[in-house]
Structure 1
Amino acid sequence: MTPTIVFDTFGIVSKETNGVVPLAYITALIVMLFTAISYGKMVKVFPNAGSAYTYTRETMNPHLGFLVGWAALLDYLLLPMVNALIIRIYMVSVFPNVPAWIWVVAYVAAVTGINVWSMGKTSNMNTILVAFELVLIAAFLVLAIVQFSHGMGKGTVITFDPLYHSGVRLSAVLTSATVVCFSFIGFDAVTMYAEEAKDPKIMPKAIMLTVFIGGAVFFIASYFAQALFPDVSHFKNTDDTLPEIGLYVGGTLFKLLFISGAFAATVASGLASHASVSRLLYVMGRNGVLPKRWFGYVHPKFRTPAWNVILVGLVSLLAITPSLELISSFINFAGHGMCKILLEGQMSGKKWEDALSFKCTLVGEYI
């Protein structure tokens, strides 16, 4: 749940909804709250790692749990690789003369080392990175208020237009809500750490707070952005509006800071996804779905599933050569096929399909 993702997808969603991105986020938040309540109920009954795999196994059938676990694993195992690949793209664009594999190896080694060391260190690093993103969003809100005073956009902070105005279609809002729902992907990973929580009873509250806080950040940021940019005519590239929003609101320096926020988001996403999939592997190993001796191992000193963390790191090294499009296709096949079906069925035009499919694939992992 990357706070800055709202600015990446803003142009796409604003165009589709005719300028009511905050309304799409409210709709998505309501849907996500039902899902969060469900996860909260299940984690209270089964305070074990494994998330949907564990719940399906315990309440329905071990064989169904096996299928759910493998379906999730196909998706989760590739997400850390996506983050490594995005880091490679970022760094190569800044340092084109440095071999790409160096950045992948350095990034994967750092993320793997932190995850092996301790869950606390992973959490602390994520807290720092997310705090940096939230500071940038707070700076955006302050700069937006300054721009309002200069007559930019609606010229006022208080306006109902970002929520509803003439020409808004309910079908378009619902379609866009399915897109911004992907901004919430990842909150369920909280349940992966049920066995490492000091008190498992706090897990339902943690899940609900994650969704509420994330939804509030998405809504407030999208409201200010929509009030500043009532339509997409300001943007040269509507597929990813984050750089241009930073430029128009705060100038070149703030644009660079905004982009660095996206970089921090990718690292935070990499840490979280790496930790989550290693724990899913651990539970499947403990249950005998995977070889228990390897996958069910917990390091005696660090108390982390060290072999699984290292295995995920080795898989992530595959990001050295493939393209983002190729890995995205694998993730679409494994876990986000419904997103592609939805886009093909409800969106028209190849450009729309490409842009939204890319966003839907990466949002949870931008995470």
Structure 2
Amino acid sequence: MSKVIDPQAVSNPDEAKTGYAQELKRTLTFKDLVIFGLITMLPIAPTQVYAVAASESFGMAPLVYLVGVIAMVFTAYSYSSMSREFPIAGSAYSFVQRGLNPHVGFLTGWIIIMDYLIIPGMLIAFSNLWLSAVFPGVPALLIILLFAFIITFVNARGISLTRWASYLFLFCQLGLIAIFIICGLKYVLMDGHGIGGFSLTPFYQPGKIDLQFIASAASIAVLGFIGFDAISTLSEETKNPTRTVGPSVVASLCLIGLLFLGQSYMASLAHPNYEDLDPGMGYFDIIREVGGDGLYYAFILIGVLAVGIANALTVQSAISRVIFSMSRDKLLPFSGILSKVHSKYKTPANATIFVGLASVLVALFLSLDFLAKLVNFGAMTTYMLLNLSVVSHFFLKKKERSLKGFFRYLISPLIGFAVIAFIWSGFDRTTYVIGFTWLAIGIVFGAIKSKGYKEVPPVLGEV
């Protein structure tokens, strides 16, 4: 079981600040974290939702991604501030717990569990969908079990192995994106297809833009940005986390935003008729138009491996550490088992195996549309609470109200909160019903665990 320490009895300042003994192995650098963030957000993420986002936005998918980048940058700064203050593995769960309120922190963790527990299974399901287009005879159960086993085995062995797998898949994706953009430029500018040249139409069309349209479309496209916060779950495995984690969160978000904008803009120029795009395979069809069958199949195969293994690998790594963090605070069922660290690999192996088993069930029995709605609700709700935590902890509790503090700890997080709330307002009724039902279950469970919300984890009384 993870140890709660006496902050007066240790020399390590991070241990004194957090109240936890250092159990996980510190190996990661700034570069490792940026690459982890890019893989988690997935450079080729437009393959998943571009067609739907384009349809919802009258072909202005690049505008939708731009809104998403703006929304996430302010929230990324909030994660940067909190990860510097609390360099521990629980991400938003730990930050809201300490910055806003312990019980709200538990509910944040509960929402994160819903969110990230289903993402690996959703990613495996996407891979199964795409792979069936190339190898229709392969049984879905076999694909799902194989991918779940691979990511669970790699994560249980250690974050260093995860790091090298991330490097490999990242470079493959970046190479394919570069080829797609080069082929797209030739297709549009030299061959005269699509729009036939550069245009601002993918960003602005008079009479078609209103706030509701942007909110609805952004709530779909923002799926690609979900995961940048996963970097902060690796704080206890990072060298010098107070200086490294925050900047890596912001850097990875800005880089992925540029990749999304470039791909969606090129797709919009090459295929302006968004109405005839297939919701599931529309982006791949555009790739086939501009690059031929070779690029089409390469994107599908790399997409299958990148989504089903690399992306699922990093997301599983993140949620297993949130479950580990909540379990060492004794807030989840079977906390004694889920909080154990592997004696040799120094990883939360039991939590990782649990997530692997859950991924199989999610991929087998839940639809992609249903899963995407749950993921978006959970992520946006978490981000709003995180922004409020920055205001509460730094501006109100610590009274950091200099000119710099005023903008960093009040204005910036409030802008982040407002933009996220705007996107949150674009969800449909089903998403709200599912999301609030899960939250209600968490409220009841939290009340039982805390004896009517009167008790807090022991570590919070020590820090």
TM range (shorter): 0.7 to 0.9
Aligned to 1:173: 214
Q: 2:92: which partner in 1?
A: 52
Q: 1:210 to 1:3 in 2, by over 3 A?
A: same
What is the aligned partner in structure 1 of residue 339 from structure 2? 296
- Distance of 2:369 and 2:49 partners within structure 1: 21
Q: 1:33 to 1:306 in 2, by over 3 A?
A: same
**Runs of 5+ consecutive residues of structure 1 not aligned to the other structure:** 346-352, 358-367
Q: Which amino acid aligns with 2:125?
A: L
Q: 2:306 matched to 1:265?
A: yes
Match of 1:205 among 231, 247, 253: 247
1:237 corresponds in structure 2 to 278
Q: Decide whether the 8 Å contact of 2:42 with 2:311 is kept in 1.
A: yes
More displaced stretch, 158-167 vs 331-340: 331-340
Counterpart among 323, 342, 347 of residue 426 in structure 2: 342
Report how many residues are paired.
Answer: 346
| Corresponding position: 1:150 with 2:194 | no
| TM-score normalised by structure 1 residue count | 0.84
Per mean C-alpha deviation after superposition, the further-off stretch among 80-89 and 274-283 is: 80-89
Q: Do structure 1's residue 283 and structure 2's residue 325 form an aligned pair?
A: yes
What letter is aligned with 2:365? P
Asked if the contact 1:144/1:228 (under 8 Å) is kept, the reply is yes
CA contact (8 A) 1:74 1:334 kept: no
Check the 8 A contact 2:87/2:236 in 1, yes or no.
Answer: yes
* C-alpha displacement of 1:296: 2.1
Name the aligned partner's letter for residue 215 of structure 1.
Answer: G
Of 104, 110, 113 in structure 2, the residue corresponding to residue 64 of structure 1 is 104
State the 1:46 CA deviation. Answer: 0.6
2:440 paired residue number: none
Change (3 A) 1:163 1:318: closer
The superposition leaves residues 194-236 of structure 1 with CA deviations (integer Å, 9 ceiling, x where unpaired) of 1111120111110001110010001111111122223325x35
Corresponding position of 1:6: 46
> In 2, are the aligned partners of 1:6 and 1:218 still within 8 Å (CA)?
yes
2:223 aligns with 182
The aligned counterpart of 2:293 is: 252
For residue 316 of structure 2, what is the amino acid of its counterpart? H
SS at 1:303 equivalent: coil
Cα 1:163–1:83 shift into 2, 3 Å? closer
Post-superposition Cα deviations, 1:58-88, rounded to whole Å, max 9, x if no partner, equal 1233222222212221222222222333444
CA shift at 1:103, angstroms? Answer: 2.6
1:219 matched to 2:261: yes
| More off after superposition, 276-285 vs 61-70 | 61-70
Give the superposed CA RMSD.
2.9
Please say if residues 215 and 426 of structure 2, whose CA atoms lie closer than 8 Å, have aligned partners that are also in contact. Answer: no
Unpaired segments ≥5 residues, structure 2:
1-40, 382-422, 435-463
- How much has 1:312 moved relative to structure 2? 1.6
1:317 and 2:357 correspond: no
Q: Which moved more, 1:42-51 or 1:249-258?
A: 249-258
Superposed displacement of residue 249, structure 1: 0.5
1:128 counterpart residue number = 168
Counterpart residue identity of residue 254, structure 1: L
Alpha-carbon shift at residue 33 of structure 1 (Å): 0.6
- 2:428 is paired with a residue whose SS is helix
User: 2:267 corresponds to which letter in structure 1?
Assistant: A
**Structure 1 equivalent of residue 420 of structure 2:** none
Q: Structure 1 residue 257: deviation in Å?
A: 1.3
Distance in 1 of aligned mates of 2:182 and 2:102: 52
Contact 2:126 2:368 survives alignment (8 Å): no
What does residue 76 of structure 2 align with? 36
Quick one: structure 1 residues 170 and 326, their matched pair in 2 at CA, closer, same or farther if it must change by over 3 Å? Answer: closer
Percent of aligned pairs with the same amino acid: 28
String of CA shifts for 1:29-62, please: whole Å, max 9, x gaps.
1111111011111111111111111012112332
Pairwise CA distance, 1:238: 4.5
Deviates more, 1:238-247 or 1:206-215: 238-247
Q: Would the aligned equivalents of 2:194 and 2:269 in 1 still touch at CA under 8 Å?
A: yes
Shift of residue 289, structure 1, vs aligned partner:
1.7
Give the 3 Å change call, closer, same or farther, for CA 310–175 of structure 1 in structure 2. Answer: closer
Q: Is the Cα–Cα contact under 8 Å of residues 42 and 224 in structure 2 kept in the other structure?
A: yes
Task: Give the letter for the 1:250 counterpart.
Answer: G
Cα offset, 1:253, TM superposition: 1.6
CA contact (8 A) 2:194 2:271 kept: yes
User: Cα distance, 1:21 vs. partner?
Assistant: 2.0
Paired with 1:28 and 1:340, the residues of 2 have a C-alpha distance of: 12
Equivalent position SS for 1:335: helix
Q: Distance in 2 between matches of 1:48 and 1:106?
A: 32
Q: Contact between 2:288 and 2:295, CA under 8 Å: does it hold in 1? A: yes
- Corresponding residue of 1:114: 154
| In 2, Cα distance between equivalents of 1:317 and 1:178 | 26
Aligned residue identity for 2:247: K
Q: Check conservation: 1:284, 1:295, Cα contact below 8 A.
A: no
Amino acid of the residue matched to residue 140 of structure 1? F
Query: What CA deviation, in whole Å up to 9, does each residue of 1:141-165 have, x standing for no partner?
Result: 1101211201112322x43333224
Which of residues 147, 154, 160 in structure 1 aligns to 2:200? 160
SS at match of 2:231: helix
